């Protein structure tokens, strides 16, 4: 997904219109977690802070924190995940997205990894 940016916690960010972004977890992250059974997202109107927990994701293996790659206000939550958390496994870059955020500091996007940098980061972590 070349138009995405990534955090080192394996979240992806897609820039939408204006200062709005969509956030999800990478394919690498969903494969590492295994079958996802529950997603706890922040609520609409919640403030999220870059590199801080914004919720959790539960798989058959473990419960993991979801870290926000950016700071801002949650403007939309993927409510389909309440009944169908497996969408994160099936379509992590499409219907399995987590939240949309209105950025408070668009400059934060510059600290995220592009696709090539993220793939290098993953490979280095596996060595």
What CATH number is given for 4-111 in this structure?
Answer: 2.40.50.100
Predicted TM-score (pTM) of the model is 0.95
Q: What is the pLDDT along the chain (127 residues), one digit of tens a residue?
A: 558 999 999 999 999 999 999 999 999 999 999 999 999 999 999 999 999 999 999 999 999 999 999 999 999 999 999 999 999 999 999 999 999 999 999 999 999 999 999 999 999 987 7
Q: Please report where in the chains the tokens 């950025």 appear, as a residue.
A: 103
pLDDT value at residue 125: 82
pLDDT value at residue 102: 98
The DSSP annotation for 55-108 comes to EEEEESS-EEEEEPSS-EEEEEE-THHHH-TTHHHH-TTTTT--EEEEES-GGG
């Amino acid at each position: 997904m070349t138009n995405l940016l990534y955090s080192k916690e394996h979240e992806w960010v897609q820039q939408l219109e204006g200062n709005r972004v969509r956030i999800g977890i990478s394919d690498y992250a969903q494969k590492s977690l295994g079958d996802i059974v529950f997603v706890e997202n922040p609520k609409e109107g919640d403030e999220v802070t870059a590199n801080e927990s914004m919720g959790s994701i539960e798989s058959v293996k473990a419960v993991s924190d979801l870290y926000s790659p950016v700071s801002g206000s949650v403007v939309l939550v993927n409510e389909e995940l309440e009944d169908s958390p497996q969408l994160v496994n099936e379509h992590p870059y499409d219907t399995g997205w987590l939240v949309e955020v209105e950025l408070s500091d668009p400059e934060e996007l510059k600290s995220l990894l592009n696709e090539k940098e993220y793939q290098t980061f993953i490979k280095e972590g596996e060595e």
